[in-house]
């Protein structure tokens, strides 16, 4: 089974973010980067399928030279080889990004394509399903479990309020993986050593035959949320006031 896993590099979650002078993106100088968390779970799902059924896992990542650190991390964890699309993805909307990824995937003819459910920087959650449409593949999203058999897969998708859906799909297919599908592995010392000798194929939009196109979605302005203080008094007896406070903390502040 050949599995392609698309991974995206995003700013580390503990980074101090500042708005760039353009007002349309964050200031990237001095930022630390990491693999997008849902994509890390997609990689874990791919590696587990390979361990169980054999084949290979190919990491696919688009971005500037700095994404090489995350490609090496994927290889150290167990990916067999990688494809690096050397393009600046900052200005690309999900459709343009999916076109680039689709062009790289088509030449590989994989049995399964895995993406994360959404990215932690923009959180649009569209690239995976658009990629499936461009490739003409059946797809499913918010996937929590994957089981493969001859020519098919059975997946468990999350719905809402604790409900799940089990679907059987033919291969090839594309799945958008939800965080928490399994415990993420660490790169071993042996894996780090092996990663240095594993193939990383570098391509560009031009070499893939993808012509530049005007984005259909443009960020006009990015800004930090405005902070304001507000006092709210709860009426009623202590029991009623406590119930109202718990409701506010749970559904508005989302801290419990």
Q: What is the mean pLDDT of residues 50-70?
A: 95
CATH number where 52 lies: 3.40.50.620
Query: 111: cis peptide before it, omega within 30°?
Result: no
The answer, yes or no, to whether residue 55 has pLDDT greater than 80, is yes
Q: What is the mean pLDDT of residues 107-124?
A: 93
Q: What is the mean pLDDT of residues 47-57?
A: 96
Q: What is the pTM of this model?
A: 0.83
Q: Give exposure, 19-34, as e/b (b: 16+ Cβ within 10 Å).
A: eeeeeeeeeeeeeebb
C-alpha closest to that of 174 among 200, 148, 136 = 136
Task: Let me know: does 139 contact 174? Beta carbons within 8 Å.
Answer: yes
**pLDDT on residue 227:** 75
Q: What is the mean pLDDT of residues 29-46?
A: 94
Q: What single DSSP character describes residue 26?
A: B
Q: How many CA atoms lie within 13 A of 169 on its CB side?
A: 24
User: What is the domain extent for residue 109?
Assistant: 2-208
| Residue 215 is assigned to a structural domain of this protein | no
Task: Let me know: does 170 contact 111? Beta carbons within 8 Å.
Answer: no
pLDDT digits (tens, 9 = 90+) for 216-253: 888 888 887 777 777 888 888 999 889 988 988 888 87
Q: What is the mean pLDDT of residues 199-204?
A: 95
* Token pair recorded at residue 3: 């599995």
Residue 185 CB burial class (10 angstroms; 0-12, 13-18, ≥19): middle
State how many domains the chain has: 1
Could you tell me the pLDDT band of residue 182, with boundaries at 50, 70 and 90? Answer: confident
Lowest mean pLDDT among 9-18, 65-74, 187-196: 9-18
| Residue 229 is assigned to a structural domain of this protein | no
| Residue 246 is assigned to a structural domain of this protein | no
| Residue 124 is assigned to a structural domain of this protein | yes
| Residue 248 is assigned to a structural domain of this protein | no
Q: What is the mean pLDDT of residues 186-212?
A: 93
* Token pair recorded at residue 212: 């530049």
């Amino acid at each position: 089974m050949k599995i392609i896993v698309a991974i995206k590099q995003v700013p580390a979650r503990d980074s101090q973010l500042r708005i760039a002078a353009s007002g349309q993106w964050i200031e990237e100088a001095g930022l630390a980067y990491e693999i997008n968390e849902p994509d890390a779970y997609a990689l874990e799902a791919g590696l587990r399928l390979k361990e169980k059924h054999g084949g290979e896992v190919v990491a696919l990542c688009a971005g500037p030279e700095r994404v090489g650190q995350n490609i090496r991390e994927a290889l150290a964890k167990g990916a067999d080889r990688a494809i690096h699309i050397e393009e600046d993805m900052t200005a690309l909307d999900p459709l343009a990004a999916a076109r680039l990824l689709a062009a790289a995937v088509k030449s590989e003819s994989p049995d399964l394509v895995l993406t994360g459910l959404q990215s932690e920087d923009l959180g649009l959650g569209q690239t995976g399903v658009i990629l499936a449409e461009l490739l003409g593949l059946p797809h499913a999203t918010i996937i929590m479990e994957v089981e493969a058999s001859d020519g098919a897969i059975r997946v468990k998708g999350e719905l809402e309020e604790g409900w799940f859906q089990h679907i059987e799909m033919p291969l090839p297919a594309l799945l958008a993986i939800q965080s928490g599908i399994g415990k993420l592995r660490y790169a071993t010392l042996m894996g780090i050593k092996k990663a240095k000798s594993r193939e990383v194929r570098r391509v560009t939009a031009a070499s893939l035959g993808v012509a530049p196109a005007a984005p259909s979605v443009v960020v006009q302005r990015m800004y930090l949320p405005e902070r304001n203080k507000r006092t709210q008094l709860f009426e009623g007896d202590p029991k009623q006031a406590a119930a109202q406070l718990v409701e506010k903390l749970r559904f508005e502040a989302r801290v419990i």
